[in-house]
Amino acid sequence: MIQKFDAIIIGTGQAGPSLAGRLTEAGQTVAVIERKLVGGTCVNTGCMPTKALVASAYAAHLARRGADYGVTIGGDISIDMKRVKQRSHQVTLNARNNNETWLRGMQRCTFIEGHARLESPNTVRIGDQTITAPKIFLNVGGRAAIPDFPGIDEVPYLTNTSIVMLEHVPEHLVVVGGSYIGLEFAQIFRRFGAEVTVVEKGPRLVSREDEDVSDAVRKILEAEGITVRTGAECIRFRPHENGIAVGVNCTEGDPEVIGSDVLLAVGRRPNTDDLGLDKAGVETDERGYIKVDDDLATNVEGIWALGDCNGRGAFTHTAYNDFEIVAANLLDGENRKVSERILGYALYIDPPFGRVGLTEKQARDSGKNILVGTRPMSRVGRAIEKGETQGFMKIIADADTRKILGASILGTGGDEAIHGVLDMMNAGAPYDALRWAVPIHPTVSELWPTLILSMRQP
């Protein structure tokens, strides 16, 4: 017997449960399917456990710096990795249980555990069970990409999923990949006491950012004793008597790095390869991401894709915004578009990096008449008082329209202070709104007026 619903949601990341809540409140019957852990990447292997680890690592770092603040701590600082992991994992468990309790108690919602596969544009099979609905929402997320590096099948390796479960500090962690995930874990485990080497194939770290950001991030990490090897064109692996040999470069420097543990952090791939998309006729691109239009609809009527699997944003907040767009259009009579989204995000090293809108390079390449203002964090009272003056702030504006095009903060509180600019951009306000603001002292945000006044044509 085929059970009928008004809507089927596959996956319980940031978009799925919230969409189920809106649909059921509107009187619709909804089936929510999850094959593994409720909450998706953010709750289980991403934002929540990693930021809990970041907090523990920061506590260790601050304890070691106690004397800088006139605080004396007797003896060496030690790390109880089992307790660190337990604390991080409890954060995950609490969030996962809350989400699952919410779904199971939701009126008109049927929660189904199992691996869902599309049988047609409106039919889904979960094991021996078949269900149908005129609307299907795919929120299946992604996982770590494992490139076909030479020797990768001959050695053990960690991903973001397994490294958050470690109960020991690696002697020497080799992080392959110099972007957001890799750099966060590199600093975390360096602060826990591991020797850390970051191996990046490209010429610089966080290559999607401006060069001044990449350079500053590298200096911050190297100042903590992290070794960075960029231009690693010969990444390869082989077992070694002392752990794992990672091939780094064919032309200069030591050709290999010997590590006790290896973390692969070289990108993500969508969980779409075993979803039965072909049976429903849903199109994907060459990387497996589901193709969607500006409303997040696929090429098949009645099927939408939200979150990481659609390739339109790789962050928890973009997945949640996908839900908001779909719900607004289907239930509220609105006409919201993904292309209207102003993207902001953060890199949670310490100090953190917050960014919104265009980079300086992107703004230059756009052909616009731009203004750029920069200031070092050593000019920010809050940073000086905290003894955390690394990094800088930058803002980019259109000289003709006076609209803000983008901004970056690499510095203490940058992940929070960037929201002042994000709000201005969403409101369509000119940069004068920041210039004439009266910010609280001492905060990171108080530098915005001065930063606006410093803007010049590059």
Catalytic residue list? 441
Closest by CA to 159, choosing from 139, 137, 138, 143, is 143
Closest by CA to 20, choosing from 127, 113, 139, is 139
CA pair distance 159, 263, nearest whole angstrom: 6
> DSSP letter string over 253-291?
S-SEEEESEEEE-S-EEES-TTS-HHHHT--B-TTSPBP
Burial 344-365 (b: 16+ CB within 10 A, else e): bbbbbbbbbbbbbbbbbeebee
Tokens (6 digits) for 150? 């030479």
> What single-letter amino acid sits at 281?
G
Sequence-ordered list of residues with C-beta below 8 angstroms from that of 417, at least 6 positions apart, any chain: 354, 409, 443, 444, 445
**Phi and psi at residue 81, to the nearest 5°:** -65, -30
> DSSP letter string over 98-120?
HHHHHHHH-TTEEEEES-EEEEE
Residues 55, 56, 61, 65, CA torsion sign: positive
